[in-house]
């Protein structure tokens, strides 16, 4: 590939080799004025990933191509220093999506060569790509649309027939997987972490703001005993190893995220399910949590009823129309009850105090 092409796809092996061969030292990349543009673009890359889309404008000329190419290793340093699994996934996804936008417009020969870098061997025949079903399953596994199911595909002699756009979409998955799996970086040199520290602090702040923006009300510590009946029922089923219907799985996960449970805590809850697949479950939870920039809210009671997920309705349910409203109301009532108890306690203490005084006076 030409250097400008490598700049668009800096995560492929050829691009890494090309950068290595340039012989640019870490110190130069971090401190040299010559690579300032690369560092600026690297920061931009990560910030754009936070917004969900890395924009790739055409690059031309040696200097611009080099900056674009070097911005990737610098962006990786920032992601490594942020050291947050959810953020890493967000970054990998944004890089992969940007790649897909470009890949869709590449020639079949280019896509075949690109695929080889990810161990995907395929053929292009009669305007279709044909790839071995194992690679197909591997890279389509996380894609939810039923059209990706092997049973919905033309499948002959171990090969699956797909369109050019679909092949590019699978390459997007391959890119996402490669980037994601290249983190965490075990030992980050101190010069890198020191240099990146101010940018990392800013990125972390922005990430937190984003999570809050898409997230929910701060309910404080999670209090499962105050969960609405539908969610408690679903939780009990999960703990009992009973599989949940997809709609309930979604409702429960989005509810738990909204009340402040972490992705890991929810993943642990599902760890007991008969069909537990850690990678897929993590992907689904993070997807609902907003890894793609879209945070999903739990469904309202009406929707829960439509899907048969409104189970164990109690008197408080009559007064709310959303499971989160139930939880909020329960917290309010419980706090009010606690306040009352506190007041009663104070009254009792006062009475005791005045009783003691009276005894002393007598």
- Rule CB under 6 A: is residue 230 a binding residue for ligand SF4? yes
- Rule CB under 6 A: is residue 227 a binding residue for ligand SF4? no
- Residue 17 buriedness (CB in 10 A; 0-12 / 13-18 / 19+): exposed
CB of 259 to ligand SF4, least distance (A): 13
- Rule CB under 6 A: is residue 301 a binding residue for ligand SF4? yes
Between the CA of residue 148 and those of 58, 138, 161, 169, what are the distances in Å?
32, 11, 11, 11
Residue closer to ligand SF4 by CB (options 192, 310) is 310
- Rule CB under 6 A: is residue 228 a binding residue for ligand SF4? yes
With beta carbons less than 8 A apart as the criterion, state whether 312 and 233 touch.
Answer: yes
- Rule CB under 6 A: is residue 6 a binding residue for ligand SF4? no
Contact string 320-349 vs ligand SF4 (x = CB under 6 A):
---x--x-----------------------
- Rule CB under 6 A: is residue 229 a binding residue for ligand SF4? yes
CB of 301 to ligand SF4, least distance (A): 3
Rounded CA separation 281/142 (Å): 10
- Three-state secondary-structure class, residue 265: helix
Residue closer to ligand SF4 by CB (options 143, 311) is 311
Span 124-163, contacts to ligand SF4 by CB under 6 A: none
Residue 260 phi/psi, 5° resolution?
105, 10
CB atoms within 10 A of CB 112: 18
With beta carbons less than 8 A apart as the criterion, state whether 207 and 131 touch.
Answer: no
**Residue spans of alpha helices (H) in the chain:** 3-8, 13-22, 26-31, 36-51, 62-82, 85-103, 108-116, 133-140, 164-181, 190-214, 229-239, 246-258, 263-270, 278-289, 301-306, 323-361
Residue closer to ligand SF4 by CB (options 128, 255) is 255
- Rule CB under 6 A: is residue 108 a binding residue for ligand SF4? no
- Rule CB under 6 A: is residue 317 a binding residue for ligand SF4? yes
Residue closer to ligand SF4 by CB (options 44, 328) is 328
| Residue numbers at the binding site for ligand SF4 (CB under 6 A) | 228-230, 301, 304, 310, 312-313, 317, 323, 326
């Amino acid at each position: 590939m030409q250097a400008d092409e490598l700049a668009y796809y800096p995560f492929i092996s050829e691009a890494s080799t090309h950068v290595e061969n340039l012989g640019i030292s870490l110190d130069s990349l971090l401190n040299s004025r010559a690579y300032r543009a690369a560092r600026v673009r690297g920061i931009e890359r990560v910030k754009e990933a936070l917004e969900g889309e890395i924009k790739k404008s055409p690059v031309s000329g040696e200097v611009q191509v080099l900056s674009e190419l070097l911005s990737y290793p610098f962006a990786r340093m920032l992601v490594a220093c942020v050291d947050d699994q959810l953020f890493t996934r967000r970054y990998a996804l944004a890089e992969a999506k940007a790649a897909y936008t470009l890949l869709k417009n590449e020639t079949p020969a280019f896509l075949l060569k690109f695929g080889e870098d990810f161990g995907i061997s395929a053929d292009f025949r009669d305007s279709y790509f044909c790839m071995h079903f194992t690679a197909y399953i591997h890279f389509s596994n996380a894609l939810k649309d039923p059209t990706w199911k092997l049973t919905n595909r033309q499948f002959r002699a171990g090969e699956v027939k797909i369109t050019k756009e679909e092949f590019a979409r699978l390459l997007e998955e391959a890119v996402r997987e490669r980037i994601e799996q290249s983190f965490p970086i075990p030992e980050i040199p101190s010069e890198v972490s020191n240099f990146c520290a101010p940018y990392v602090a800013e990125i972390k702040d922005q990430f937190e703001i984003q999570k809050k923006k898409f997230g929910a009300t701060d309910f404080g510590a999670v209090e499962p005993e105050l969960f609405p009946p539908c969610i408690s029922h679903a939780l009990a089923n999960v703990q009992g190893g009973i599989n949940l219907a997809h709609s309930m799985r979604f409702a429960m996960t989005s509810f738990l995220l909204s009340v402040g449970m972490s992705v890991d805590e929810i993943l642990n809850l599902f760890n007991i399910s008969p069909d537990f697949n850690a990678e897929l479950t993590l992907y689904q939870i993070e997807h609902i949590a907003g890894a793609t920039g879209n945070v999903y809210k739990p469904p309202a009671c009406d929707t829960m009823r439509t899907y048969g997920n409104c189970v164990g309705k109690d008197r408080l349910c009559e007064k709310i129309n959303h499971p989160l409203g139930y939880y909020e109301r329960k917290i309010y009532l419980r706090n009010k009850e606690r306040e009352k108890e506190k007041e009663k306690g104070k009254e009792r203490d006062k009475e005791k105090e005045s009783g003691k005084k009276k005894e002393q006076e007598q």
